[in-house]
Every structure is written in structure tokens, then in C-alpha cells.
């Protein structure tokens, strides 16, 4: 059976779990890797991913794939039904554009905001508090941008649920770790958030 | 005719130019956008990309696609011959993994290193010098990692030239702006770099 090495509460692990739940793929065994304890940066784990990041997919043939979006891509290509990364060239490009916007200008900023302001991983990186605070400000700003966008769109990238919704949704929940929550005035973001939260995959 | 709004010397613009050159796609008009002058953050340009980033692809139907990798994806799907993003599920995942490693742990760090240490865009962002210096250190470390990887691989992601080579190659050249160059001892990285530099697309 395929294995995924991860820590369930980590946002990237959640992206992959949601993706697989939406695809109804269940023949995967999850193996816990303790991030705070540094299991992911052990020499043993670096055989699976030399950069020491999770999640990592291990195929039955023994190959390792890391990077959440690369893992999702693997399953998207093998299971094209119910596409979450688009079908036509324009769809695929539009979804990738929105996935990246949410990842680069939101998820990654929340992540850096958390790591640089809390020093959670100060045993393995150099936190720069001023930068972390700036990241949190920018992530908050992105939520406002996303709210405006969702005023005219049911989902993040067009008319159906896609991987862009997964990244945005996981990031909204993740943002709680830096005390950023959806503003009551952001009614479009709130409407969208509730609709995604109601999907069974949100519990994956 | 399709248009691409960009500034030729910007690394993301170069990624797209190289990709199109490798695909022998030439029916695209390039439109210059002055980044230092802030043309990309004007309200006019934000109609094309609300986040004010380049490059942006404008299709003949008037649709706009931003994010370099989304633009490349568009052309990859329409022109599948000579795949640069892989064919099988495992190929596609492996290439996306390496593309992302090079982007996240190298290109983006060089970019932040440049912006945060020089204050080049201090009219529109808050540079944090200490963070910029840390990014440069981490980017330098990645070049060493890449050198080790290339000891056993002809290209970044397997046996043929892919978009992962484009990201890595553009990043090596981009790293000069923060005075990071290939170490003379990194013979594998140097061998690979020279082989990519010899490709016509490197001049695109």
C-alpha cells in the first residue's frame, strides 16, 4: 500500500488529505512524523526527502514524492475523474494561477508569520520577528482581496471546487495560529468558507 | 496575437521566455512593463493582474493568466509535444517536485534576498535586512545541495531537460544580484550549468 509520511495538523498534510478525500482515494496509509521533535530532519527521514519536509508520498515501487502539489498532481493524473486541477488548458492555467496566489500570498505568509514570530522551529532556523510580523500583515491583506474576489465567484477558481479552494481553505484555518480570523465584514469570504467547511473532505 | 506583459530581465519573465523557446512557440508579442517605475502596480495594470505581478499572459479572447508556472502550464497542455512538465503521473509529479524545490528553496530566496537587502522596491514593501541576509545564506546552501544531486543526474528532474532545469538555471543567473555564484568546487553544478547555457533557449 502507498504511504504518506506527515503530521496531521500541518497545513500541507491537510491539503493532501482533502485532495484525496475529494477524489475518494483511500488506499493510502498515513505514517506520523513528529515535526516539533525533528523526526522530519533526521538522517533517516532525509532518505525520503533530503529537504526534510512533509508530506512525502511513498509509492508501492519505493519512489518518494514530496511537495504537496506534486503529490496532488500524481493522483490527479492517475485519477482524472472529478478534476481538481482543471481539464482544458485555460482551466488548468486559471486554477494553477489561483492555487499559486493563495499559496504564495497567503499560506506561505501565514507559515512564515508563525515560524518567525513564535520561534516554534528556532532549533533549526533563524527567526526574524520583524519579518514574521510583516508576513502576518500581508496575509491579513490577502484575506480582504480574496473576499472581494469571492463577491463575484462561487469558488476561488471559477465555477467549481478545485485545489485552489483547498489551499485557500486550509490557509484560513491555519491563520488562527497567528490570530488572524475572517473579519465579520468579509461576508463573501465567510459564505465561501462555510460552504467548504460543509464538505466531508474538510474533516479529512 | 497573444501578448505577454513583462520586463525581460526579471527572472520570472525569463522562465516563461525559455519555456516558449524550448516549445518553439513564437506567436506571442512581448509588452514591456517597467517594474522599478511601478508600472506593474498601476491601477491600469491591476486590471490584468490585481496582485500587480509580471509576467501576465493575455489570450486572444481577452483572458489574463498570471503566475509563470500557470502560463507555462497553459502552453504545455496546448502543445504536449516535447513535454517539459512530464508525461506519466510519476514523471509529472517528480518534475513538479523538483521545480518546486528549486523555486521555493532557491529562486524565491534569491528574490527575497535581493529585495530585502537592497531595498530595490522599498517604495512598495518593507525590507527587513536581517531576513534578506538569511535568505541569501539559505540560497547559497541550496546550490550545494543541487551540486550533490547533479553528481548522479544529468538534469535536475531525471534524464531529460524539463521546467525544473529552467527554474534552477534562471535562479543561478539571478543569484548574481546578491553576489552568489557557483563555487569552483561545485563541478557537477558547473557541468550542468554550462550544458543548459549552451541551449538556444538560454538566450531567449
| A95: confidence class by pLDDT, cuts 50, 70, 90 | very high
B83 is a domain residue: no
For B61, counting Cβ atoms within 10 Å of its Cβ (0-12 exposed, 13-18 middle, 19+ buried), the class is exposed
Range of the domain at B65: 2-78
User: Domain holding A35: CATH number?
Assistant: 3.40.30.10
Chain B residue numbers with beta carbons less than 8 Å from the beta carbon of A162 are none
Interface test with A, best of B70, B80, B136, B152 (most A CBs within 10 A): B70
- Same-domain check for residues A43 and A133: no
- Same-domain check for residues A106 and A12: no
CB contact under 8 A, B63 and A126: no
- Same-domain check for residues A179 and A109: yes
Judged against a pLDDT cut of 90, whether residue B158 lies above it is answered with no
How many separate domains does chain A show? 2
DSSP letter at A25 equals -
CB contact under 8 A, A67 and B128: no
Q: What is the pLDDT of residue A158?
A: 83
Q: How far is A97 from chain B (nearest CA, A)?
A: 5
A84 is a domain residue: no
CB contact under 8 A, B101 and A51: yes
Considering chain A, what is the average pLDDT of its residues? 97
A147 is a domain residue: yes
- Same-domain check for residues B99 and B152: yes
pLDDT digits (tens, 9 = 90+) for B92-137: 999 999 999 999 999 999 999 999 999 999 999 999 999 999 999 9
- Same-domain check for residues A132 and A179: yes
Report the distance separating Cα B53 and Cα B67, nearest Å: 8
Judged against a pLDDT cut of 90, whether residue A114 lies above it is answered with yes
Chain B residue numbers with beta carbons less than 8 Å from the beta carbon of A71 are 93
| Among candidate residues B78, B101, B116, the one where a domain is terminated | B78
Is the model's pTM score more than 0.90? yes
Mean pLDDT of B180-189: 97
pLDDT digits (tens, 9 = 90+) for A130-177: 999 999 999 999 999 999 999 999 999 989 999 999 999 999 999 999
| B50: confidence class by pLDDT, cuts 50, 70, 90 | very high
- Same-domain check for residues B62 and B25: yes
| Among candidate residues A78, A97, A115, the one where a domain is terminated | A78
Interface test with A, best of B131, B150, B162 (most A CBs within 10 A): B131
Interface test with B, best of A67, A109, A125 (most B CBs within 10 A): A67
Nearest-CB residue to B101 (from A67, A93, A131): A67
Chain B residue numbers with beta carbons less than 8 Å from the beta carbon of A96 are 67, 69-70, 73
Judged against a pLDDT cut of 90, whether residue A29 lies above it is answered with yes
Helices (H), A38-162: 68-78, 89-102, 108-118, 129-150
Q: How many helices (H) and strands (E) does chain A have?
A: 7, 4
Nearest-CB residue to B131 (from A105, A128, A149): A128
Share of chain A above pLDDT 70, in %: 100
Q: What is the pLDDT of residue A24?
A: 97
From B37, B40, B39, B72, select the one nearest B53 (Cα to Cα). Answer: B40
Nearest-CB residue to A70 (from B51, B100, B128): B100
- Same-domain check for residues A149 and A98: yes
Amino acid at each position: 500500500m502507498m504511504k504518506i509520511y506527515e503530521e496531521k495538523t500541518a497545513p500541507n498534510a491537510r491539503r493532501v488529505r482533502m485532495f484525496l478525500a475529494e477524489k475518494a482515494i483511500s488506499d493510502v496509509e498515513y505514517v506520523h512524523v513528529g515535526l516539533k521533535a525533528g523526526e522530519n530532519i533526521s538522517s533517516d527521514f532525509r532518505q525520503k526527502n533530503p529537504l526534510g519536509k512533509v508530506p512525502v508520498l511513498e509509492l508501492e515501487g519505493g519512489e518518494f514524492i514530496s511537495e504537496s502539489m506534486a503529490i496532488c498532481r500524481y493522483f490527479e493524473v492517475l485519477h482524472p475523474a472529478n478534476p481538481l486541477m482543471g481539464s482544458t488548458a485555460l482551466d488548468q492555467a486559471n486554477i494553477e494561477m489561483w492555487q499559486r496566489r493563495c499559496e504564495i500570498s497567503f499560506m506561505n505568509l501565514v507559515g512564515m508569520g508563525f515560524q518567525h514570530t513564535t520561534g516554534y522551529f528556532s532549533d533549526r532556523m533563524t527567526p526574524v520577528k520583524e519579518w514574521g510580523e510583516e508576513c502576518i500583515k500581508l496575509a491579513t491583506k490577502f484575506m480582504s482581496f480574496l473576499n472581494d474576489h469571492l463577491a463575484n465567484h462561487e469558488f476561488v477558481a471559477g465555477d467549481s471546487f478545485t485545489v485552489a479552494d483547498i489551499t485557500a481553505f486550509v490557509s484560513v484555518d491555519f491563520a488562527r495560529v497567528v490570530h488572524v480570523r475572517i473579519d465579520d465584514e468579509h461576508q463573501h469570504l465567510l459564505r465561501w468558507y462555510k460552504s467548504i467547511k460543509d464538505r466531508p473532505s474538510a474533516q479529512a
